Copies of this chain bind each other. A is one copy, B any other.
Amino acid sequence: MSKQATASLERLRHIFSMPLDRNAALLKIEAEISTNLLEFLRHKIVAERIEPRELEKFFREHSIPAAPLFVSEQAEFLLQTAVRHAVNTATPKFIGHMTAPMPSFMLPLTKIMTALNQNMVKTETSKSFTPLERQVIAMLHHLIYRRSREFYTRWMHDSTAALGIFCSGGTLANITALWAARNTLLAGEEAVREIGVGTALRQRNLHGLAVLVSRLGHYSLAKAADLLGIGRAALIAIETDSRDRINCKALAAQLRQLRARKIGIVAIVGIAGSTETGSVDPLHELANIAAGEGCHLHVDAAWGGPTLFSARHRHLLRGIEMADTVTLDAHKQLYTPMGVGLLLCRTATVLRDIEQQAAYIVRVGSRDQGKFTLDGSRPGMALLVHSALRVFGRKGFELLIDYGIEQAACFANLIEASEAFELITPPQLNVLTYRFNPCKRRTPRQDAVTHTKLLNRLNISLQRKQRRRGASFVSRTTLHLSAHPLPIVVLRVVLANPLTTTAHLQEILAEQTEIGLELEAGLRDAG
């Protein structure tokens, strides 16, 4: 190695030798980052208006630079570009998406995770993090299934069993659930995992597979049906009642038809907190139907699961304890950073037909947590979930849940009382939809179809304009409701930030009124 290379290598080694609090330069950078972040997070949602094309100019070099950059330079660059123009999802007036504001203690804890850089796939690279993860799984299992102390003593640390798995989020949890359900349905000698979907169906004289969910099912279920070789057409959307809950009669009828057509039922999926309206399916009824059918019941409680912390509201999820599998997102209402979801399993054997092995990793009989996961290498996010669960405690989560649901009811009242806004889906949990409708209290001049189209255009413009102003944010979606002949565009609100107060909600509505009337006036002038 040349003299120059040796010197460069020494510099590189310095970067890896973890000086942390010993390195003055790094400490200075860290302090600067903290101050800057603090300033950003105090700001409104968008620090500065900027068009996407302008933003792209910061990030257009396609070639990795040859020469190294000082960390301070890179930090400065990031602060001026990525941080400055990020979305402040944590402000009280960002109520449009299911992003969690960060409890401040997550920041030092994240440092532990990064510094240790454990890999959960295997105990050789995770040691203490393995039982820690298994405990978190058991704790959340207990939140849902409430089994006895004996049950957990028996299974919590049993390496042959899985009461659940960690994954990157609800999408992977839903996929894992349907994967396990498909493999269990088509298990045995000619197992689908070995011979594939085509041959497995032929062997069993089945004409296809189906997954049933209300038409409000999350898009990850269509992704799962595609991925798993079931096909998106096999994801059967069941109609809903006036409160967006799956129609159990329609479901039962559909099941009879499918059976007559020799279609194998992979799973019935119930929703506990739908993405679009926050609605909760009658899980108890679904559990009875699934039991009668002898098929897998999966509940997507990615959003609504933590409602179980609330003595007042947990009855809404009655029946969830009968589900074979339940999806729960920690980075939603458990307030951990992005990138951590779980799938919980009623019994320790639900995942046995998706178990993986390899000689160099996830060995048979080992405690390796990689045996049942869709992900391979995986960070020790369990540390953050463990901390959230213990620092907030059940009481803390109950307060957070109750407050969000209360705020949603309060916002619904504000909307109902307003002149120009129409509540579309009243909140069951802490999600609701509404729309700007200045004709709310008078008969529109146009026919219903023209009027709906006009309102749709108005609400799209309103949401965009509000987002671009950057003081507050609600999202929008398009709903197909039985009460409306056409799809209608609605504003969507998710209330899970404890810093959001009634005053904030009033301000948001006032801003929307202003934007809406301005847009309407513009339309009138133009028309």
B residues near A473, Cβ cutoff 8 Å? 124
Cβ–Cβ contact B31 & A21, under 8 A: yes
User: Roughly how many angstroms separate A359 CA and B218 CA in the complex, as a whole number?
Assistant: 11
Cβ–Cβ contact A19 & B197, under 8 A: no
Name which residue of chain B comes closest to A477, CB basis. Answer: B360
List the 9 closest A-B pairs by CB distance, nearest first: A229-B229, A196-B231, A171-B376, A197-B229, A62-B152, A85-B128, A219-B358, A360-B477, A59-B135
- Does A399 count as interface, using CB distance less than 8 angstroms? yes
User: Roughly how many angstroms separate A313 CA and B1 CA in the complex, as a whole number?
Assistant: 15
New A-B pairs, 11, CB < 8 Å, besides A61-B139, A81-B128, A172-B375: A8-B399, A16-B498, A20-B104, A30-B108, A33-B109, A60-B156, A69-B391, A87-B124, A99-B119, A171-B375, A329-B377
- Does A523 count as interface, using CB distance less than 8 angstroms? no
CB distance from A413 to the nearest CB of B (A): 16
Given A128-B55, A492-B360, A102 contacting B18 (CB threshold 8 A) = yes
CB distance from A225 to the nearest CB of B (A): 8
- Does A445 count as interface, using CB distance less than 8 angstroms? no
Please encode chain A, from 125 to 157, with 1 for each CB lying within 8 Å of some chain B CB and 0 for all others.
Answer: 111111110110011111100000100110011
- Does A288 count as interface, using CB distance less than 8 angstroms? no
Cβ–Cβ contact A142 & B227, under 8 A: no
Q: Which among A29, A130, A376, A402 has the greatest number of chain B C-beta atoms within 10 A?
A: A376
Identify which of B37, B108, B117, B118 contacts A75 (C-beta below 8 A). B108
CB distance from A310 to the nearest CB of B (A): 12
Given A33-B111, A169-B377, A219-B357, A199 contacting B392 (CB threshold 8 A) = no
Name which residue of chain B comes closest to A176, CB basis. Answer: B227
B residues near A126, Cβ cutoff 8 Å? 86-87
User: Roughly how many angstroms separate A360 CA and B88 CA in the complex, as a whole number?
Assistant: 19
Give residues 40-55 of A contacting B (CB, 8 Å): 40-41, 46, 52, 55
Q: How many residues of A contact B (CB 8 A)?
A: 190
Name which residue of chain B comes closest to A467, CB basis. Answer: B124
Pairs A–B under 8 Å by Cβ, sample size 26 = A8-B395, A8-B396, A15-B391, A34-B111, A55-B131, A58-B131, A59-B134, A60-B135, A61-B139, A64-B142, A68-B396, A69-B391, A81-B128, A82-B383, A86-B129, A87-B125, A89-B116, A100-B117, A117-B337, A171-B374, A171-B376, A222-B356, A226-B354, A329-B377, A338-B380, A339-B339
Given A74-B391, A117-B102, A379-B339, A62 contacting B232 (CB threshold 8 A) = no
Cβ–Cβ contact B393 & A128, under 8 A: no
Given A65-B394, A222-B356, A383-B78, A193 contacting B114 (CB threshold 8 A) = no
B residues near A37, Cβ cutoff 8 Å? 20, 111-112, 115-116
B residues near A360, Cβ cutoff 8 Å? 275-276, 475-478, 492
Q: Interface SS of chain A: helix, strand, loop or mixed?
A: helix
Cβ–Cβ contact A169 & B111, under 8 A: no
User: Roughly how many angstroms separate A230 CA and B228 CA in the complex, as a whole number?
Assistant: 9
User: Roughly how many angstroms separate A74 CA and B132 CA in the complex, as a whole number?
Assistant: 13
Name which residue of chain B comes closest to A1, CB basis. Answer: B406
- Does A483 count as interface, using CB distance less than 8 angstroms? no
Cβ–Cβ contact A127 & B232, under 8 A: no
Given A127-B55, A338-B119, A359 contacting B9 (CB threshold 8 A) = no
Cβ–Cβ contact A104 & B338, under 8 A: no
Cβ–Cβ contact A68 & B467, under 8 A: no
B residues near A168, Cβ cutoff 8 Å? 168, 339, 375, 377-378
Give residues 314-366 of A contacting B (CB, 8 Å): 329, 331, 337-339, 354, 356-362
User: Roughly how many angstroms separate A27 CA and B391 CA in the complex, as a whole number?
Assistant: 17
Name which residue of chain B comes closest to A21, CB basis. Answer: B34
User: Roughly how many angstroms separate A46 CA and B125 CA in the complex, as a whole number?
Assistant: 11
User: Roughly how many angstroms separate A70 CA and B390 CA in the complex, as a whole number?
Assistant: 9
- Does A179 count as interface, using CB distance less than 8 angstroms? yes
- Does A499 count as interface, using CB distance less than 8 angstroms? yes
Cβ–Cβ contact A196 & B229, under 8 A: yes
Given A16-B498, A169-B378, A219-B356, A115 contacting B102 (CB threshold 8 A) = yes
Given A338-B377, A356-B219, A127 contacting B195 (CB threshold 8 A) = no
B residues near A71, Cβ cutoff 8 Å? 105, 391
